[in-house]
Structures are given as C-alpha cells and as structure tokens.
Amino acid sequence: MGVRLAMRKELMGLNNSDMLTADDVRAHLTQQVKQQPHSTQKGFSVISKFNDNHSQLLSGDNNRERLLEFQRHRLFKDVLYTKQSVDVWLNSQIN
C-alpha cells in the first residue's frame, strides 16, 4: 500500500471500520480468487464485474450489483463498500 493511500485511509477513518475502498475490495477479491486456483477465469470475471460496477458508480449511474452495499464518504466523496456485502456478493458470484 502506498503512503498516499495509507494517509487517505487514515484521514477517512477506515483503519478500524468495516468499510472498504475499491482498492481494498480488489485486494480482497484477488486474495479469495487465489485460494481457489481451479476457477482462475471465473475470478478474473468477478474482478472485472466489480471494476465495471465501481466505474458506473463513480460516473453517477445506478448500482447494478444489488448485493454490493456502498456509501459515499462525506468529505472525500469516495465510494466505500461494506465488508459483509462484498463477501456476500463474492459468494453469489463464485457459487
């Protein structure tokens, strides 16, 4: 993790919360996909689907992935996801 990202997360108060930035979600998805080596193609598809959904949220479109709960940070306006919803969404995509 870079210094800028670490400082930004600290300023947003995310260090001890259940909220994840998009980079945190990607790292979490990558880690989960690596644990299941037989589904590499499916893992790539899941990360790609998340990236597509995140890009749409950043541009102001509606959330297409209903299981991914998000909120915008009040000060930084970053899109943040709940860890529980990311896990539920990942399980629905893999299974």
Instruction: For 52-76, write each residue's pLDDT tens digit.
Output: 999 999 888 887 888 899 998 888 7
Cα(71)–Cα(54) distance, integer angstroms: 12
Domain ranges of the chain: 3-94
pLDDT confidence of residue 67: 87
Q: Is the pLDDT reported for residue 40 higher than 70?
A: no
What percent of the chain shows pLDDT beyond 70?
A: 96
What percent of the chain shows pLDDT beyond 90?
A: 37
Cα(47)–Cα(88) distance, integer angstroms: 14
Please list the residues that pair with 19 across neighbouring strands. 82
**65: three-class secondary structure by DSSP:** coil
pTM score: 0.85
Alpha-carbon torsion angle 4, 20, 47, 38, nearest 10: 110
Q: Is the pLDDT reported for residue 95 higher than 80?
A: no
Cα(9)–Cα(2) distance, integer angstroms: 11
